[in-house]
Structure 1
Amino acid sequence: MNATQKQVITQGKPLSETGKALILVHGRGASAESILDLARHLPVAEFTLFAPQAANHTWYPYSFMAPESQNQPHLDNALAVLNGLVKSITGQGISADKIYLAGFSQGACLTAEYATRHARQYGGLCIFTGGLIGQHINRDKYKGNFQGTPVLITTGDPDAHVPVSRVEETVQIMEGLGASVTKKIYPGRPHTILQEEITLACQILAPPGDKKNVTQ
């Protein structure tokens, strides 16, 4: 794993002040800086933000629907980046239920795969156009209990990269591990993030009654 793969951009107040972390995972061809732009539309004033950077702007080389072996060792390296980041945050005294993860496209797939392999009570997950990784889903890889973790998962119908069928499979597995999933399929939507998706993500990041977390 090279130094670029390990690069993480941090924004916001220190964890010792916020007590909450949001990990943002960029898509193929994008960057940590670009996914941090998404945070400008989210209620993150009381979060510490972390955005890891993939080597050569790509977490793994082929489609997330390709046989998993074709995306190795890049996929395992990418999962290790997220795992190392989560462990670093929990090592600073932040419990997993105060850690939120969000990603778009390839970053959404990586977010879904990591969280479902390590199911526990997270603060929330926002999977913007993504699903679990592999030509065929091997359910034996997914362990743990989400304990009601709120999850938003979306895609377009059709989407050039993420078929509705894979989103449906992902929802079934995550719900089976105890997640509380909101699924949104948008007919004819281009490969992007809509304002409605942002609004739904805001409800996860700043649930009703959590006034101090809403950016004025």
Structure 2
Amino acid sequence: MLTHHQMDLVHHGAKPEQARLVVYGVHGRTQSPQFFIDLAQRIGVEGICWWLPSAAGHSWYPGKFMEPFESNQPQLGQALAVVEDQLWKLLATREDDGAPVVVFGFSQGACLLAEYLLTVQPAVDGALLHTGGYLGPRPRSFDAASKPGLSGRAIELFCADEDPWVPLHRVKDTAAAFEGLAAVTTLSVYRDEEHHITEDAVARIREYLRRHARG
């Protein structure tokens, strides 16, 4: 059986050397990088270099995101390691006068990124987290790292008020956790019961990406 480490990192959009912005997009359960390729067409912002990891078996971890950590191992640990390895390489490229790097996750991908961002606090240029929150069964607190990378960064979260998979209270706790690390945090809540990205959210995401693109 393939592991996350053996899956391809898919490129879409602008060439890295020509990009105005780099987006690292992490798909949800049952999805693939094609989810973000389709979403990029809906967003319609030129000059974005999309880097899209692939989950083995179309799932980053087997259980629900609020289950105990050990019930989602070893896949969860492998997924976090893949994110760390790929994202640090992108951030190293940015340090060589590359384009800004923003992370973007949906559903299970948003949960994975929320967990990674809050615990590691890498110096990304921004984050979009749609329908996801940090992992584990109980509320948690997060201490700022010695060199906090999220301070002053724009973190935007989105969620439906009646999403069937992600309870709104965990998304609110996640937004508060980012605020506690001095990130500039925005939470948009939709009166909805569907697990999807609305056209209003697409418009907000489009504006966010345009603001963060250089030039």
Same fold at TM > 0.5 = yes
The amino acid that maps onto 2:55 is A
Q: Tell me the SS of whatever aligns to 2:93.
A: coil
1:99 correspondence with 2:101: yes
Alignment of 1:1-216 (within 5 A): 2=3, 5-18=6-19, 20-94=21-95, 98-140=100-142, 143=145, 144-207=148-211
* Distance in 1, Cα, partners of 2:152 & 2:158: 18
Shifted more, 155-164 versus 86-95: the winner is 86-95
Root-mean-square deviation (CA, aligned residues, Å) is 2.4
Shifted more, 45-54 versus 87-96: the winner is 87-96
Q: CA deviation at 1:134?
A: 0.8
* Distance in 2, Cα, partners of 1:84 & 1:2: 15
* Distance in 1, Cα, partners of 2:68 & 2:163: 20
Contact 2:23 2:49 in 1 (8 A): yes
The amino acid that maps onto 2:127 is L
Q: CA deviation at 1:77?
A: 0.8
Shifted more, 129-138 versus 51-60: the winner is 129-138
Q: CA deviation at 1:211?
A: 9.1
The amino acid that maps onto 1:162 is V
* Distance in 2, Cα, partners of 1:64 & 1:211: 34
Q: CA deviation at 1:7?
A: 1.3
Contact 2:24 2:50 in 1 (8 A): yes
* Distance in 1, Cα, partners of 2:123 & 2:15: 22
The amino acid that maps onto 2:41 is R
* Distance in 1, Cα, partners of 2:154 & 2:99: 11
TM-score by length of 2: 0.88
* Distance in 2, Cα, partners of 1:142 & 1:211: 28
5+ long unaligned stretches in structure 1: none
Q: Tell me the SS of whatever aligns to 1:10.
A: strand
Q: CA deviation at 1:176?
A: 0.6
Contact 1:129 1:155 in 2 (8 A): yes
Contact 1:147 1:178 in 2 (8 A): yes
Contact 1:171 1:181 in 2 (8 A): yes
* Distance in 2, Cα, partners of 1:71 & 1:59: 9
Q: In 2 relative to 1, CA 93–108 (structure 1 residues): closer, same or farther, beyond 3 Å?
A: closer
The amino acid that maps onto 1:114 is Y
TM-score by length of 1: 0.87
Q: Tell me the SS of whatever aligns to 1:139.
A: coil
Contact 1:108 1:131 in 2 (8 A): yes
The amino acid that maps onto 1:149 is R
The amino acid that maps onto 1:159 is D
Q: Tell me the SS of whatever aligns to 1:92.
A: helix
* Distance in 2, Cα, partners of 1:211 & 1:81: 27
5+ long unaligned stretches in structure 2: none
Q: Tell me the SS of whatever aligns to 1:201.
A: helix
Percent identity of the aligned residues? 29
